[in-house]
Amino acid sequence: MYKNMSTLTGTGISTKLDSFAAGKEAALNAYYQIEKNYPNILIIFISAIYNQHETIKGVRSIIRDTPIIGCSSVGSISNYGFHQNSVAVSIISSDSINFFCGIGDKISANSRLAGSKAAIKAFGSIKKHNPKQAYMMFSDSISGNSADILRGAQEILGTCFPIIGGGACNKSRSSQTYQYADNEILTDSVVGVIISGTMVLGIGQSSSWQPIGKPHKITKAKFNIIKEIDRKPAVKIYEEYFEKSFEEIKNDGIFKLGINYPLGLRQTDKNKEYITRVPLMLENNGSFVLNADIREGENISLMISDKELIVESAKKAAEKALSYIKNTKIKFAIMFSDISRFLLLKNDAYKEIDMVKKIIGMEIPILGCYTLGEYGLLNAAESAGQYCFNNHSVSITLFSE
């Protein structure tokens, strides 16, 4: 149990086999931790192996009317470490924070519209006198364009309004992902929640992937599809670097290769942080479909990372977040780490969480999950405080009073 003057958080994790029982157990554990106080919101992350409806029913058997937000994930992140194939329920009970949810559907048809729809609904519910602090959203990562979803939300909230969250994920690129808002279990959607109140936020994001090899120019691209790189079919870059044929890449799945070796865009010459894009699908003409858009004429590099760099970047993100909240007391932290980091760290995934705990304080409650792409602020100075969609990063948001 993590108890503060006005804010209580509790996180329950269950790995029970039965979906209903797992939901119930996780909710009950979290509820006990907030000492059965009034919960403001439930943030839920459920592995795709569970029957999603039954799990939510299990959660609802303990806590009935509180708003729910969350998504499916390969694993949850909490003070207890990482848990694969689990149900994680986090409850926030606070008299200084309020939450207002919104839903945007059919992102595959119009990601931008869906993004703005969710933000409008969430924003519309908020009382005017409440200071808006941040917007947390979870989107379907295997359909639509995540950067467009963000743009849609930014049309309503502004480009410098703190937006955190990420793409719901499953271990497989082709498996369905789910987004939760209240009692609805959605897919091909985006769910968002406006966080309002008097809290001070500190957001830090960092990616550990580094370029390798010479830069290449995107010579033909449209939205989130790269058609040509260096005037050759886009797939050639992977064919050349990995010495694999088109058929081999197609059969193995471009996502499998791209999740570990994505394409990186350098933001400015000064900054060493790269925005990365993951090829989700390989088309027969050798084009890639990415999970966010990319511009023609941009220089890209193949990216690589290792375990040490990942842990180091978690430290960097935590330090960055901490630097914004001087002279206040941290109440809790929300952490989203990209699935690629989890796949590379494997059993060492706890090291990333431990590093964050070490920086922000061992007793600070952490809640979060692994995502496919993260919304956040990668380079505050270089991007003029504009929030963006990135992959392979870890995003840490500290809530303090």
Partner 1 sequence: MNISYIIVFALVSCVLFMLYHIEITKRIKSEKSNKKLQDIVDQLDNQAKIIIKTDLALNKVQEDLDRKITGLCTLHEISRKLSSTFNIDNIFGMINQPFVLKLGFSKLLITLKENPSGLMAIKSSAGYSDAEIKIIETEFNKINFASFLFKKEKPMLVNRLMESIDRRWNLLDLLKVESFLTAPIIVREESIGFIIAGNTSMYGKIGENDTELMSILTGLVETAIESAKLYTELFGSHRELERRVADRTKELEKLNEELKNLNKMKSDFISSVSHELRTPLTSIKGYASILMTGKLGNVLPAQKERLEKIDKHSNSLVHLVNNLLDIARIESGKTQMTMQNISVKEMLDSIVDIITPQIKEKNISLKINSKTKFDTIKADHSQIERIFLNLLSNAVKFTPEKGTVSVDVEEKDDVIQFSIEDTGIGIPPQDISKVFQEFFRADNALDQKIKGSGLGLSLVKKIVEAHKGKIWFNSELGKGSRFTFTLPKY
Among 109, 124, 172, 245, binds partner 1 (CB under 8 A): 172
SS3 for 360?
helix
**Residue closer to partner 1, measured from CB, 160 or 309:** 309
- Bridge pairing between strands 68-72 and 41-46: parallel
The DSSP element (H or E) to which 203 belongs, if any, is strand 200-207
Interface segment toward partner 1; rule CB under 8 A; list 106-114, 165-173, 329-337, 376-384: 165-173
Taking the C-alpha atoms of residue 373 and residue 375, their distance in angstroms, rounded to an integer, is 7
Among 36, 109, 124, 175, binds partner 1 (CB under 8 A): 175
Query: What x/- string results for residues 212 through 231 when contact with partner 1 is judged by CB under 8 A?
Result: xxx-----------------
Question: What DSSP designation does 129 have?
Answer: T
**Residue 102 contacts by C-beta under 8 Å, 6 or more apart in sequence?**
117, 118, 119, 120, 121, 122, 123, 124, 125, 181, 191, 192, 193, 194
Among 173, 316, 341, 357, binds partner 1 (CB under 8 A): 173
**Residue closer to partner 1, measured from CB, 1 or 17:** 17
Structure token pair of residue 45: 């992350």
CB of 303 to partner 1, least distance (A): 10
CB of 243 to partner 1, least distance (A): 7
CB of 214 to partner 1, least distance (A): 4
- Bridge pairing between strands 366-371 and 274-277: unpaired
- Sign of torsion, CA 333 150 176 349? negative
**Residue 343 contacts by C-beta under 8 Å, 6 or more apart in sequence?**
259, 260
CB of 212 to partner 1, least distance (A): 5
Is 198 one of the binding residues for partner 1 (CB under 8 A)?
no
**Residue closer to partner 1, measured from CB, 95 or 240:** 240
Interface segment toward partner 1; rule CB under 8 A; list 55-63, 224-232, 339-347, 379-387: 339-347
Size of the site for partner 1 (CB under 8 A): 33
Looking only at residues 251 through 280 of this chain, which bind partner 1 when binding is defined by CB under 8 A? 251-253, 255-256, 259-261
Residue the block writes with tokens 């914004």:
324
**Residue closer to partner 1, measured from CB, 251 or 327:** 251
Helices (H) and strands (E) in the chain, counts: 10, 27
Taking the C-alpha atoms of residue 371 and residue 122, their distance in angstroms, rounded to an integer, is 22
Looking only at residues 11 through 50 of this chain, which bind partner 1 when binding is defined by CB under 8 A? 15, 17, 49
How would DSSP label each residue in 21-50? HHHHHHHHHHHHHTTTPPPSEEEEEE-TTS
Taking the C-alpha atoms of residue 362 and residue 93, their distance in angstroms, rounded to an integer, is 21
Structure token pair of residue 177: 């992902």
Torsions phi, psi for 54 (to 5 deg): -65, -40
Is 302 one of the binding residues for partner 1 (CB under 8 A)?
yes
Query: What x/- string results for residues 125 through 154 when contact with partner 1 is judged by CB under 8 A?
Result: ------------------------------
Query: What x/- string results for residues 44 through 73 when contact with partner 1 is judged by CB under 8 A?
Result: -----x-x----------------------
Structure token pair of residue 282: 């390989």
Is 289 one of the binding residues for partner 1 (CB under 8 A)?
no
Among 174, 198, 268, 285, binds partner 1 (CB under 8 A): 174
Is 171 one of the binding residues for partner 1 (CB under 8 A)?
yes
**Residue closer to partner 1, measured from CB, 56 or 134:** 56
Kindly report the number of other CB atoms within 10 A of residue 214's CB atom. 9
Is 124 one of the binding residues for partner 1 (CB under 8 A)?
no
CB of 352 to partner 1, least distance (A): 17
CB of 306 to partner 1, least distance (A): 8
Structure token pair of residue 302: 């193949």
**Residue closer to partner 1, measured from CB, 174 or 198:** 174
**Residue closer to partner 1, measured from CB, 40 or 170:** 170
Q: What's at 148, amino acid-wise?
A: D
CB burial class (10 A; 0-12, 13-18, 19+) of residue 223? Answer: middle
Q: Can you give the binding site for partner 1, defined by CB under 8 A?
A: 15, 17, 49, 51, 84-85, 170-175, 212-214, 240-243, 251-253, 255-256, 259-261, 302, 304, 343-344, 346-347
